[in-house]
Amino acid sequence: MLNTRQGALIRTVGLFRSTIRERLVREYDTTGELLVDLGSDQTSCHNPFSGGYCPVGLTEQEASQLMHSEPARFRSLVQESLRRHIAAINKLADKGLFFWDYGNAFLLEAKRAGADVEKSGAGKTEFKYPSYVQHIMGDIFSLGFGPFRWVCTSGDPEDLAATDVIASTVLEDISKGVSDLVRQQYDDNIRWIREAGKHNMVVGSQARILYSDQKGRVSIALAINTAIADGRIKAPVVISRDHHDVSGTDSPFRETSNIYDGSAFCADMAVQNFVGDAFRGATWVALHNGGGVGWGEVTNGGFGLVLDGSGDAARRVTMMLNWDVSNGVARRCWSGNDKAYETICQTMREHSDLRVTLPLAWRTRAAGQGSAALREEFNHKRSTPVSSQFYRALFQLCSVSGFEMNTHV
């Protein structure tokens, strides 16, 4: 690392032990040289006392034995190590390291262990270091982008390659008519999907994943369904998404950690997502606990939808995928996220049957303080009658936020 630093080379280094932080501190104390500029932790602290975190001084085998024979002592050693871990990070951060939390409950468990991670005057989901959801992914989710994936049931690599071409073509076409901010997301994923095949990432199922927004997901799914119908793809394709997404998850210390109105601790969005997907044609749905931040800390709603080339599958895609994303974007808009507000307004412009009641603060801004175009948009949405073929029912979505949160669908 020192040679890399002195040679002005940029390197990413993956480390497997928390004690490396203390080694970096000793190096700084000895030489005055800070060897790293950026640091993060993808520590499995969503399961710290059952194998997710190995205490300092123990081998993996010793830790495994101790967690079963003396769980209380093992827990104490984990928390002692977390305090040491944070002390080293704090020292490095004081000298210029930019540190952020990946999100697997590292800072949460460090706080519970008594480590110095408190942020003065902050809410329960905030710490002295940024979270990659709060400061990076939160805004990407609010644009409607998240991990959209599919599996080719034929098991044929040629089918997967065909879906790659379909996805890149669809995204290239859509990206021509979007804002610069949204285009950045498209450009990244177009590059990824163009090059995905050559990286030989497939192990087992012929599956692919990329980040896309509502328009991209629907368009890719419909194009794949058409390819199945005309024989370019040999067998059905199953579409889904990760729980780490725009709307499938309520997780106050990760996916919804940038929702600051108090409702981050409610599982409304995941449950509505699960029920809404079921009624709109998902082949199967799931509502479950855990997943990345620990049992009792998160609720996830998920789905699978089989594309078989039929008109019915296309209808289900249109009904369900639009809901699956807009549900989460609307939720983030209600909590006061500017980008989510802009995204849901754009979605309503593109889908005349979609009605999302804006929070009182946004409606006040739109009706009286915003631009003429914003006021015109608000008045149009307020006065246009609902004529819905796309959505079939009126859902009353409740929240503790204090906003009027009716969604007309």
Q: What is the percent of the chain with per-residue pLDDT over 70, rounded to a whole number? A: 82
Top CATH class of 139-337 equals alpha beta
Q: Give the start-to-end residue ranges of the domains of the chain.
A: 2-130, 139-337
Neighbours of 111 (CB within 10 A): 18
Query: Among 389, 355, 357, which residue's Cα sits nearest to residue 280?
Result: 389
> Mind listing the pLDDT tens digit for each residue in 92-120?
999 999 988 876 788 888 999 999 998 88
Q: Which two tokens stand for residue 162?
A: 């065909």
Average pLDDT, rounded, for the chain: 82
> Mind listing the pLDDT tens digit for each residue in 12-26?
666 655 667 788 888
Query: Among 91, 237, 90, 247, which residue's Cα sits nearest to residue 158?
Result: 237
Q: What is the dihedral of CA 186, 208, 236, 272, to 10 degrees?
A: -70
**What pLDDT is stored for residue 364 in this prediction?**
54
Q: Compute and round to an integer the Cα radius of gyration of the chain.
A: 24
State the Cα angle at 229 between 224 and 232, rounded to 5°: 65
Collapse the DSSP code of 71 into the 3-class scheme (helix H, G, I; strand E, B; otherwise coil) and give the result: helix
CA distances from 197 to 165, 192, 200 (A): 10, 9, 6
Q: Which two tokens stand for residue 47?
A: 């399961």
> Mind listing the pLDDT tens digit for each residue in 194-249?
999 888 888 889 999 999 999 999 999 999 999 999 999 999 999 999 888 888 88
CA distances from 333 to 30, 43, 403 (A): 50, 31, 11
**What pLDDT is stored for residue 375 in this prediction?**
43
> Mind listing the pLDDT tens digit for each residue in 139-178?
899 999 999 999 999 999 999 999 999 999 999 999 998 8
Distance CA 82, CA 75 (A): 11
138 φ, ψ (degrees, to nearest 5): -55, -45
CA distances from 351 to 18, 277, 326, 355, 384 (A): 50, 18, 11, 9, 13
According to DSSP, residue 406 is labeled: E
* Span between the terminal Cα atoms of the chain, in Å: 56
**What pLDDT is stored for residue 362 in this prediction?**
56
State the Cα angle at 100 between 99 and 103, rounded to 5°: 150
Fold of 2-130: Rossmann fold (3.40.50)
Distance CA 378, CA 103 (A): 37
**What pLDDT is stored for residue 396 in this prediction?**
31
Contact 393, 386 (CB under 8 A): no
The H or E element containing residue 343 is: helix 338-350
> Mind listing the pLDDT tens digit for each residue in 378-407?
444 433 333 332 222 223 332 323 333 333
Report the DSSP beta bridge partners of residue 395. 407
**What pLDDT is stored for residue 260 in this prediction?**
77
Largest CA distance in the chain: 72
The H or E element containing residue 249 is: strand 249-250
**What pLDDT is stored for residue 363 in this prediction?**
53
**What pLDDT is stored for residue 227 in this prediction?**
98
Work out the pLDDT band at 74, boundaries 50, 70, 90. Answer: very high
According to DSSP, residue 197 is labeled: G
Q: What is the percent of the chain with per-residue pLDDT over 90, rounded to a whole number? A: 44
> Mind listing the pLDDT tens digit for each residue in 297-328?
888 888 999 999 999 999 999 999 999 999 99
Which of the pair, 10 or 334, is modelled with greater confidence? Answer: 334
Distance CA 217, CA 322 (A): 9
